[in-house]
Amino acid sequence: MKKYISGALAASVMLCCLISCGESVSGNPTEATAAGNATEAAESTGIYDVLQDNNYNGYEFRVLNNLSNVAYVNIGEKGLTGETLDDAMYNRNLRVAEKLNIKFNIENREYQDTYDTISKLVMSGDDVYDMYTLDLSWMRQHALNGYIFNTADIKSLDINNPWWDKNAIESVTVCGYYYALLGDLHVGYFDTFYPAVFNKNMVENLGLDDPYQLVRDGKWTLDMMIDMMMSVKQDLDGDGKWTENDRYPFSMYQDNASICLLSTSNVELFPRDENNLPVWKGLPERYVETYEKLADTMFSEKTNNANNCSGNVTKSDLAKHRAMMHIGETLFMFEPLGAVKDLRDVDFALGIAPLPKYDESQKDYRTYIFAAANAIAIPVTNPDPERTGVILEHMAAYSRETVRNVFFNETLDYKYAQDVEGQEMLDIMFSGGFFELGSVYGWGGVVKEMMNQLKEGKKEIASKIEAISDKAISDLETAVEAFNDLK
C-alpha cells in the first residue's frame, strides 16, 4: 500500500493536523502544544541551522518501509490515528513536505519481500525507491553486494548531527563503508534494545533483592541475576511435570536471544585492530567463562526456560515465551524492548532493568541491540543521493524534539515501563547500546553455534568454536575485501 503526503497541501493542513493530534489523543490540546513548544525551543537554540533549505518542486520521495513483528515501524504512512506517536510521525512528514516542497510515497513490505525487491531492482538498474528500511542483519548483504551508497560520500548527510546515533552507525561500519543509518528518524530502532524484564510481584513476594537498587548500587551482575533466577523454580502443583501451572526462572526464544546474555562478558567477539578493522583471535577467555557459567546454571535444564513448558499455554495469540511471562509465574523475560508491549495488560507489576554487568568492576551497563534492528539505507539506483541526504536530515532532525520526545516520554515510559524506576532503567539502557558484529554479519557461524550449544546445555564450547575458526577468518576477510573494493 502506498501513502502520499503532498508538500502543496502541507501548509494548509499542518495546523489542523496538529490540533487534531492533540484532540484525538486525550481531548486536551496541551499535548499538541507541548510538541509545538518543543519544536520552537529547538529552533530557538539553532539546532536546525545546519539543515539545507531547498525547493524540490513537488518531488515524490519514494520510501520502501520494512515491517517488523517487534519494533514500531510506522514512519508517517498511517496518517492521524489518535495514537500520539503515529500522529507525531505524520506531522513530522507534513513539516518536511512543506519545508522542502516534496510529497511522500511510502510503501510497506515484509522483510523478505523488501530484501528481494531491492536486490532485483538494483541488479536491473531500476530507479524505484529513494530510500528503504530493512533489518540490519539482512541489509548487510545488500551492502556487501554493493547495492547501497556509502553515506560517507554523501555531503548532505552528517552522522555527527545529534539526531543520528553515531556510535551505533560506526559500530557496524567496516573499512569506512557507512551504509546503515540509525537514529531518531526511525524510532523503532530503539525497540530492538534488549532489557531484562521481570515480575516485580514475584521479587517482592519471595523476598528477592530489588533489581532497581542493585543497578543503582552497581551490583547488578550476571551472578546476582542467576542466583535470583535459580532460587524461584518450583513445581507448584506437585505433579512432577513442568507445565504452565509452575514457576520458572526465565523465558526467552533461545534460537536468537541467548546472545544477549553472552554479551554480558563485556568483550567483543570481533574486536577492532589499530586500523579499526575487525579481527578474529578466537573465542575470548571471558566469553568462554560467561558461556560456561550460563551452561552450568540457566541452561543446565531445558525446563528452566518457561518456553519449554508442556500443556496448553494461555494467551495463545502470543509467542509461547511471552505468553508464559504473561501468566505471571516467570521471573525474567529476555526479549527486544518492543515485545514488552505485549505485556501491557498483565495483572502484576512489571519491571525493566538493563542487562547485568559481568562483575562489579565493570564500570557501565551495556545493552545488546538485536541484529534485526531496522536500519535506513539509500540504494545505488537513486539518481540524486544528495537530495535524499537533505530530506533524511530534515526527517531525522524534526524527529529529534517531537517524535523522539513522544516515543521516549510517552510510549516507552507509560506503555512499557510502569513505574518511575523503570523509566530510570530505560535511560541507562539506551546510554549503553551496542551491536555484536558476530551477530550482524554471521562470520563463521560463531554466534549461531554458541546459541545452539547453549540451548542444549552443552558446557564445552571452546573446541566447537575452534573447529569453525578458519571459516570465521575466511568470512571476515571476504567482507573486509568486499568493503575495501566498494570504498
Q: Phi first, then psi: what are they for 331, rounded to 5°?
A: -75, -50
Kindly state the cell numbers that stand for 239: 505433579
For the domain made up of 196-368+428-486, give the CATH fold: D-Maltodextrin-Binding Protein; domain 2 (3.40.190)
In the chain, the amino acid numbered 142 is H
CA distance 262 to 82: 40
Instruction: Name the β-bridge partners of 379.
Output: 148
Q: Which residue has the cell 554487568?
A: 357
154, 378 in Cβ contact below 8 A? yes
CA distance 54 to 166: 25
DSSP string, 36-103: HHHHHHHHHTTTTTTS-----TTEEEEEEEE--SSS---SSTT---S-HHHHHHHHHHHHHHHHHTEE
* Structural domain boundaries in the chain: 2-191+371-416, 196-368+428-486
191, 337 in Cβ contact below 8 A? yes
Which H or E run contains 21?
helix 7-26
The CA-CA-CA angle for residues 350, 407, 357, to 5°, reads: 50
Do the domains 2-191+371-416 and 196-368+428-486 sit in the same CATH topology, yes or no? yes
- pLDDT tens string, the chain, 487 residues long: the values are 455 444 444 443 333 333 333 333 333 333 333 444 444 544 545 778 899 999 999 999 999 999 987 888 899 988 899 999 999 999 999 999 999 999 999 999 999 999 999 999 999 999 999 999 999 999 999 999 999 999 999 999 999 999 999 999 999 999 999 999 999 999 999 999 999 999 999 999 999 999 999 999 999 999 999 999 999 999 999 999 999 999 999 999 877 789 999 999 999 999 999 999 999 999 999 999 999 999 999 999 999 999 999 877 766 567 888 889 999 999 999 999 998 888 888 889 999 999 999 999 999 999 999 999 999 999 999 999 999 999 999 999 999 989 998 988 887 765 666 677 888 898 899 988 999 999 999 999 999 999 999 999 999 999 999 999 999 999 999 999 999 998 7
270, 279 in Cβ contact below 8 A? yes
Contacts of 455-463 with CB under 8 Å at 24 or more apart are 455/254, 455/255, 455/258, 455/299, 457/295, 457/299, 457/300, 457/301, 457/302, 458/295, 459/292, 459/295, 459/296, 461/283, 461/288, 461/291, 461/292, 461/295, 462/283, 462/288
pLDDT given for residue 12 in this prediction: 39
Residue 356 carries which DSSP code?
P
Look at strands 102-109 and 59-66 and give their pairing.
parallel
Which residue stretches of 297-419 are H helix? 320-327, 385-398, 404-406
Number of H helices, E strands in the chain: 20, 11
pTM: 0.88
Which H or E run contains 367?
strand 367-368
Q: 2-191+371-416 is classed in which CATH architecture?
A: 3-Layer(aba) Sandwich (3.40)
Side-by-side strand order, sheet with 196-199:
248-252, 330-334, 196-199, 350-353
Q: Is 82 left (phi over 0), alpha (psi -120 to 50) or beta?
A: left
Residue 298 carries which DSSP code?
T
Provide the b/e sequence for 86-124 (b: ≥16 CB within 10 Å). bbbbbbbbbbbbbbbbbbbbbbbbebeebbebbeebbee
Look at strands 374-377 and 367-368 and give their pairing.
unpaired
CA distance 95 to 93: 5
pLDDT given for residue 254 in this prediction: 76
Q: Phi first, then psi: what are they for 455, rounded to 5°?
A: -55, -35
Q: Is 266 left (phi over 0), alpha (psi -120 to 50) or beta?
A: left
pLDDT given for residue 38 in this prediction: 47
Angle at which helices 285-296 and 222-230 cross, to 10° = 10
CA distance 263 to 291: 10
Q: Return the beta strands (E) in 136-290 as ranges.
A: 196-199, 248-252
